[in-house]
A and B are shown apart, each in its own frame.
Chain A
Amino acid sequence: MSKRIQSYSIERQKARWGWIFVAPTLIFFSLFSFYPIFNAFYASLFRKKLLSLKPPDFIGFNNYSYLLKSPDFWNSIRATVVFTLGTFIPLLIFSLIFAIFIMSRKRFQNFFQMAYYSPAVLSSVVAAVIWLLIFDPRGLANQWVNFALNTPGIDHKWLASSVMVQISAMMVYFWKYVGYFTIIFIVGLASIPQSIYEASKIDGANDWKNFWYITLPLLKPTTILVSIMSMLQCLKTFSTQYLFTQGGAPLAPINVITLNIYHTAIRDHRIGRASAMSIILFIIMLFFTWLQFKFSRTDEVSY
């Protein structure tokens, strides 16, 4: 009996310390994440203008029904989906290829890691400004492509055609974040025990078989992590599209949800409608986070 009481109190003590350690993070998240989410949801139920001092009108779910009927909002969903699919798939494939390339080097591993990672350190605004200069009709992009394809004088309309401006936005994002995900893959690759490769070598497996039957399956949790992370990041993309439109690119092809939220709140002063849009984006992202949890539970790997 006394043993049970003792273990019970130890458990309680442990739990208490657990709560103490977790409390700062919980408070932080409550203040800076949960409160803004609830506040945004609350604001989304009102017709509220950013500058007005008058009490806002309660309109229930009218902002949501307006958005679901708005062609502009559906265009933003389209632009976000196209950008996300067009960016996160190449990001996933190439970051894995670059990670394997770096890990296979015997020398200059640190140099390559630094070189690939450096664009991720740059602010998105600086990156987009650099690329705006590159994509100028008289800029380097046209010069390089025309030199490579021997097509002098062709304007590839990097920012001026609705298809090319979407591809350009994808290129900038890919360039900026491929290094970041490469580093995550490198960590995943480094955590695979060398003994497995040694055993397969004794069994006569070649590099290709090693990759397909050892590396790829054991890297599955990292691959899922990278795919979900990159997908969420792509769904939140803003600065590249914002700066492209400031640089004269047409808005509609790259009017992603975040850019639409920004315009609705800052240009149109309709904070209630912008909040409704951000709640919809939050639900979309929550769905993908749920997917991540679902896959990661069934794919735990033990060596």
Chain B
Amino acid sequence: MKKLFVVFLFVIFVSITVNAATDIEITFWTHEDPNRTEIENRYIAEFEQANPGVTIKRVTSGSGQIQELILTAFAANQGPDIFNMSIEDEYAYIVNERLAPVDFEAAGYPSLQAIYDAYIPGVLDPVTYKGQLYGLPLELTNWCIYINKKIFRDVGLDPEKDYPKTWEEMMEVSDKIAIREGEILKRRGFDFRYPYYLVSWVPMVEQLGGKLISDDGKTAIINEEAWLKVLDYMREWGPNGRNLGSPTYTNARKLFNKDNNDVAMCLTGLYQQGRIRADNPEFYESGEWMVVPFPVFENAVKDVPAAYYGHYYMVNGQKPKENQQIAWKFIAFMLSHPEEYLTKVNIVQPTVKLMESATFKSMPYSEVFKNDMAKGHIVYYGESSAKIQSLIREAVESVMLAGVSPEDALKTLKRKVQEVLEEG
């Protein structure tokens, strides 16, 4: 009886050990995107079937919350196996050595160089650190101007000819389109994407010859005159100026899809097309929208479009080696469907093959995005880029809303960004 009991215990122990050795759960945290969820859930099912014993647990959060969820999880050494965010938020994980480098063999590449060769030049630079590659791009996005043609025609403008090419024209066209009830805007011509100053506002400063950080990385706010001009432009844009828009109005990008005569133009990426199709298929099919390049100032010294930014899939370096390998294998499996991501989710995975494909070229207005991207640069990224972005936001919004003069706002901004640089 005693022997039988010992054998029974041994069998249980062995089965637990064997199960523990073969069953691996990979946690995968990402932002909400219904179109992506649909295809990625299918990839998970296919991957699990091809890799018995592996379970992928995909968890989604709002795009505004995921940064702090991942940060607090990593701070407690409980980060997920796989995650993705925008590079400005991800870079701190690279420099703090919290990530596992790309396992090219697990990802199905013959060498690390083969990965670099598969993507368009420069796109992997932000995730290359001390000779190691730490991420693979889920998407590379740049923003152009979406136009509702009906609203243009409504005020007697020809959208094909009269679309704003300069920021000065943007102000005039928006003023013409705006419908106000007293001080309250009932219809806006265009409005900015306010929290994302590094992506779309700093390039406006660069058009006039300004720069956020000097080339040696030691001095903040280069060419104050350029900064003051753009701050003044924003003061003029806001409720205390010509009253064309404000951060306190509903996001223009969201209203655009509804085609409710709320806003004529918005600033967004190629992915917006998938969202228009999902939110308002009738408007998507109507042909009543178009996309034009990012405007430049009349006296611009450089033609700088909105900066492009990348979301990169990354793997937690604190997970066991086996988890890391499976995580890279799964990421590579997902990313082996770039055309489906493009056609179903409207996001661009910047592989050489996709950018040259007929599928990409046949996407509406993909050429506009491609041309702007070729002229632009990646968004500023660094360990403190999130803080610098919020300092710029503070400066711009204090000028637009709180009546602070551009000179005072710039002085404060320069002091604070310089302090961030010096603190490291």
On A, residues with C-beta under 8 Å from B are 49-53, 135-138, 142, 152-155, 157-162, 246-253, 263, 266-269, 271
CA distance A230 to B180 in the complex (A): 41
Q: Is the CB of B68 within 8 A of A266?
A: yes
Contact with A along B146-158 (1 / 0, CB 8 A): 0000000000000
CA distance A154 to B185 in the complex (A): 11
A268 with B387: in contact, given A137-B184, A159-B248, A247-B248 (CB under 8 Å)? yes
Which of these, A137, A246, A248, contacts B185 with CB under 8 Å? A137
B-side interface mostly: mixed
List A contacts of B97 (CB < 8 A). 53
CA distance A266 to B72 in the complex (A): 8
Q: Is the CB of A49 within 8 A of B96?
A: yes
22 contacts between A and B (CB under 8 A): A50-B74, A51-B75, A53-B97, A53-B98, A137-B184, A138-B184, A138-B185, A153-B181, A153-B184, A154-B182, A154-B183, A160-B246, A160-B247, A161-B402, A162-B403, A250-B398, A250-B401, A251-B393, A266-B68, A267-B386, A267-B387, A268-B386
Q: Is the CB of A50 within 8 A of B402?
A: no
Q: Is the CB of B390 within 8 A of A160?
A: no
Which of these, A153, A246, A248, contacts B183 with CB under 8 Å? A153
CA distance A240 to B384 in the complex (A): 26
CA distance A253 to B402 in the complex (A): 9
List B contacts of A155 (CB < 8 A). 182-184, 239
Q: Which residue of A lies closest to B250 (CB)?
A: A136
Q: Is the CB of A52 within 8 A of B398?
A: no
Q: Which residue of B lies closest to A273 (CB)?
A: B423
Q: Is the CB of B390 within 8 A of A267?
A: yes
CA distance A157 to B186 in the complex (A): 15
Chain B contact-residue range equals: 35 or more
Q: Which residue of B lies closest to A271 (CB)?
A: B75
Question: Which 9 residue pairs of A and B lie closest in terms of their CB atoms, listed nearest first?
Answer: A153-B182, A248-B247, A155-B183, A51-B96, A162-B402, A248-B248, A159-B248, A160-B401, A160-B248
Which of these, B186, B383, B394, contacts A138 with CB under 8 Å? B186
List A contacts of B394 (CB < 8 A). 250-252
CA distance A40 to B401 in the complex (A): 36
CA distance A263 to B68 in the complex (A): 11
List A contacts of B247 (CB < 8 A). 160, 248-249
List B contacts of A246 (CB < 8 A). 64
Q: Taking the complex as formed, is B93 at the interface, i.e. its CB lies under 8 A from any CB of chain A?
A: yes
List A contacts of B248 (CB < 8 A). 135-137, 157-160, 247-249
Q: Which of A158, A263, A268 gathers the greatest number of chain B CB atoms within 10 Å? A: A268
Q: Is the CB of B402 within 8 A of A136?
A: no
Q: Is the CB of A142 within 8 A of B71?
A: no
CA distance A92 to B258 in the complex (A): 45
Q: Taking the complex as formed, is B249 at the interface, i.e. its CB lies under 8 A from any CB of chain A?
A: yes
Instruction: Give the distance to chain B from A42, nearest Cβ to Cβ, in Å.
Output: 16
CA distance A285 to B302 in the complex (A): 54
Instruction: Give the distance to chain A from B388, nearest Cβ to Cβ, in Å.
Output: 10
Q: Which residue of B lies closest to A246 (CB)?
A: B64
Q: A155-B183, A247-B248, A251-B393 are in contact. List 14 more A-B contacts (CB 8 A).
A: A51-B96, A137-B248, A137-B249, A138-B185, A154-B183, A157-B401, A160-B401, A162-B402, A249-B401, A252-B398, A253-B402, A266-B71, A268-B384, A269-B71
Q: Is the CB of B98 within 8 A of A51?
A: yes
List A contacts of B246 (CB < 8 A). 137, 160, 248
CA distance A135 to B250 in the complex (A): 11
Q: Taking the complex as formed, is B92 at the interface, i.e. its CB lies under 8 A from any CB of chain A?
A: yes
Contact with A along B1-31 (1 / 0, CB 8 A): 0000000000000000000000000000000
Instruction: Give the distance to chain A from B321, nearest Cβ to Cβ, in Å.
Output: 18
Q: Is the CB of B401 within 8 A of A161?
A: yes
List A contacts of B196 (CB < 8 A). none
CA distance A53 to B180 in the complex (A): 54
CA distance A123 to B248 in the complex (A): 22
List A contacts of B403 (CB < 8 A). 162
Q: Taking the complex as formed, is B194 at the interface, i.e. its CB lies under 8 A from any CB of chain A?
A: yes
Q: Which residue of B lies closest to A247 (CB)?
A: B248
Q: Which residue of A lies closest to B183 (CB)?
A: A155
Q: Is the CB of A136 within 8 A of B98?
A: no
